Amino acid sequence: MSAIPSLPLPPNALQGLRVIEMGQLIAGPFAAKTLGDFGADVVKIEAPDGGDPLRQWRLTLDGTSVWWQVSSRNKRSIALDLRSVEGQDIARRLVAEADVLVENFRPGTLEGWGMGWDALSALNPGLVMLRISGYGQTGPYRDLPGFGAIGEAMGGLRYLTGEPGRVPVRVGVSIGDTLAALHGTIGVLAALYHRRVHGGTGQVIDVALHEAVFNVMESLVPEYSAFGAVREPAGSALPGIAPSNAYRCSDGHVLVAGNGDSIFRRLMEAIGRPDLGTAPDLAHNPGRVARVAEIDAAIEQWTRSRTVDEALEVLARARVPAGKVYTAKDICEDPHYRARDMIVTQRTRDGRDLEVPGVVPKLSATPGTLRSAAPHLGEDTDRVLAEIGLSAAQIAQLRSRGIVA
């Protein structure tokens, strides 16, 4: 079991980078968390009256969401009322000394507080500003409220998720928010590279939730453009690529991706159907697509008489990509996850040991690390404000008025 190391850590790739995080819940905080995992100093601004709502989402331990422990690791928390004039002034001072600002408010919110791009870039010409919103900072929908689920629907993903003829289902996690966060992180790193290597100034990264989803929709639009084809939901199958599906075993399901030409031949040999493996019209994908129902039936006839583990053992020997459908229990008990430090132990601020996901991706020379647990609300307010020159008396006066906590 891996834990946060107590020995001196190797340098992180983003060590020395200062990130200010505004906003709450999923997309913006996930982007900032990713930067923090690789060494950035992330200062999270939260409202004094309760902080980020994610602190209370889903299952809680000692009164705090265990999801929060992942989303806000490697961050410092200051409790600051951004709706107050004094809070906005402090926020501007923080941004003036930062490299990156991450925000996911509705477009126009920061402008209403005097902290739009024009104002902040005048204070800090090198600032990189990541803005994540439902529909982007421009366009006819910019002012509409947008959550990740709506972005998944508008981006085309939700329509394809589920069984034909049934109500579309969600993926099961907030994939729209996470995709937007990862696209935003890519944008931040590209902007930082431009600023440093090409002598550029800062810039805005404008990420819309639906566009991040749309960007991973593969051939959806070209197929419609060329053929008028509207891709339809297909359950666990991958239409146009065969065989690739989930097949029933005696105790569960196994996923099999036998769509490579040589893989298909090995798969058919392994399940006792060499006649299909050597059929001339099934040698390549187009022919297999035409007979996919027959191929799927042959595979499932074989898998139904075996357990998942038995099927996987045979398919592994045949070098056919296959896998079981993992639950959280399967993940936590899998030795491969452990070997690659993807399940690590983190001690919360309340002294509890909690297993959490490790850092992705793996860097050989400057790996990401879990340096600190998710903070209590306002835990770092005094220290961060002192770093920008506020005295203890000034901080106490602001606290007495509820502007900081």
Task: Please state the rounded mean pLDDT for residues 175-198.
Answer: 97
Model pLDDT, residue 8: 55
Distances (CA, A) of 227 to 154, 218, 220, 224, 292: 21, 15, 11, 5, 21
Model pLDDT, residue 200: 86
| pLDDT tens track for 264-317 | 999 999 999 999 999 999 999 999 999 999 999 999 999 999 999 999 999 999
Same domain, 316 and 348: no
Same domain, 142 and 93: yes
Residue 11: pLDDT band with limits 50, 70, 90: confident
Token pair for 328: 């959280």
Q: Is 188 exposed, middle or buried (0-12, 13-18, 19+ CB in 10 A)?
A: buried
Residue 10: pLDDT band with limits 50, 70, 90: low
Same domain, 273 and 360: no
Residue 24 counted as domain residue:
yes
Same domain, 168 and 290: no
Q: How many other C-beta atoms are found inside a 10 Å radius of the C-beta of residue 263? A: 17
Same domain, 203 and 168: yes
Q: How many CA atoms lie within 13 A of 140 on its CB side?
A: 0
Structural domain of 84 = 2-216+334-400
Q: Name the residue with tokens 């989402």.
A: 57
Q: Is 365 exposed, middle or buried (0-12, 13-18, 19+ CB in 10 A)?
A: exposed
- Element spanning 64, H or E: strand 64-65
Same domain, 166 and 87: yes
Residue 344 counted as domain residue:
yes
Model pLDDT, residue 296: 97
Q: Which residues touch 250 (CB under 8 Å, ≥6 apart)? A: 304, 305, 306, 307
Q: For 4-13, 198-207, 235-244, which range has the lowest pLDDT when averaged over its residues?
A: 4-13
- The set of catalytic residues is 177
Question: What is the distance between the terminal CA atoms of the chain, rounded to a whole angstrom?
Answer: 37
- Of the candidates 236, 187, 176, the one whose C-alpha atom is nearest the C-alpha of residue 212 is 176
Which domain CATH number covers 89?
3.40.50.10540
Residue 237 counted as domain residue:
no
| pLDDT tens track for 342-366 | 999 999 999 999 999 999 999 999 9
Residue 238 counted as domain residue:
no
Q: Strands 252-257, 322-324: parallel, antiparallel or unpaired by DSSP?
A: antiparallel
Of 326, 359, 379, the residue at which a domain comes to its end is 326
Q: Strands 343-347, 353-357: parallel, antiparallel or unpaired by DSSP?
A: antiparallel
Distances (CA, A) of 311 to 109, 166, 250, 272: 55, 30, 10, 13
Model pLDDT, residue 23: 87
DSSP structural state of residue 363: -
Same domain, 137 and 65: yes
Distances (CA, A) of 27 to 37, 193, 221, 290, 321: 15, 22, 25, 41, 32
Q: Which residues touch 68 (CB under 8 Å, ≥6 apart)? A: 52, 54, 55, 57, 374
Distances (CA, A) of 383 to 40, 198, 378, 386: 17, 34, 10, 5
CB contact at 8 A, 208 and 133? yes
| pLDDT tens track for 124-175 | 999 999 999 999 999 999 999 999 999 999 999 999 998 999 999 999 999 9
Same domain, 103 and 173: yes
Domain count, the chain: 2
SS3 258: coil
| pLDDT tens track for 309-338 | 999 999 999 999 999 999 999 999 999 999
The strand pairing partners of 206, in sequence order, are 131
- Asked whether the predicted pLDDT for residue 4 surpasses 70, the reply is no
| pLDDT tens track for 372-381 | 999 999 999 9
Which domain CATH number covers 285?
3.30.1540.10
Residue 221 counted as domain residue:
no
Query: What values do phi and psi take at 14, rounded to 5?
Result: -110, 20
Of 299, 326, 353, the residue at which a domain comes to its end is 326
Token pair for 26: 């999923």
Residue 225 counted as domain residue:
no
Find the length of the chain.
405
Residue 180 counted as domain residue:
yes
User: Going edge to edge, which strands form the sheet with 18-21?
Assistant: 75-79, 41-46, 18-21, 100-103, 128-133, 203-208
CB contact at 8 A, 141 and 135? yes
Angstrom distance (rounded) from CA 3 to CA 174: 27
Same domain, 66 and 144: yes
Q: To the nearest whole percent, how much of the chain has pLDDT over 70?
A: 98
Of 326, 355, 386, the residue at which a domain comes to its end is 326
